[in-house]
Amino acid sequence: EVQLQAFGGGLVQPGGSLRLSCVTSGFTFDDYAIAWFRQAPGKEREWVSCIGGSYDRTWYADSVKGRFTASRVNAKNTVYLQMNSLKPEDTAVYYCAAGRIPQTTVVDHYDHWGQGTEVTVSS
């Protein structure tokens, strides 16, 4: 059974940091790119970042570039999203997703999804 589980969300003040984890199982981890999406209340799901499969190339949305960093530890089947300098507009439920097309921002290109973890940036 394919599973992706996102962890690490919470409440943080503006300017603070959080690290999200996406733990996966049930598929060949190296073969898949792992992306992070987010969805704020009343808004569409938005692509945030992607990291390649067997290589560590990363891509970021302009809104998070320079503040967020994606990384992966293939031995642990885990991807991380380090989020620094958080802003209130980063508030959303964050989802990780696995797909075979790296760099794509299209929701439908991802085959497997996690359950989401909520991030709230507020003072």
DSSP assignment string, 83-102: E-S--GGG-EEEEEEEESST
User: CA 90, CA 27: separation in Å to the nearest integer?
Assistant: 30
CA distance 87 to 96: 20
Is pLDDT above 80 for 55? Answer: no
Q: How high is the pLDDT of residue 53?
A: 77
Instruction: Give the pLDDT of residue 102.
Output: 79
More confident residue, 38 or 101: 38
What is residue 30's predicted lDDT score, i.e. its pLDDT?
87
CA dist 26 and 19 (Å) reads: 23
Q: According to the per-residue pLDDT averaged within each range, which of 47-61, 74-88, 97-111 is highest?
A: 74-88
Name the more confident of 106 and 119.
119
Give the dihedral sign, CA 13/78/31/39. Answer: negative
Q: What is the pLDDT of residue 52?
A: 87
Q: Which residue has the higher pLDDT, 55 or 84?
A: 84
Which residue in this structure is represented by tokens 């642990």?
76
- Cα diameter, the chain: 41
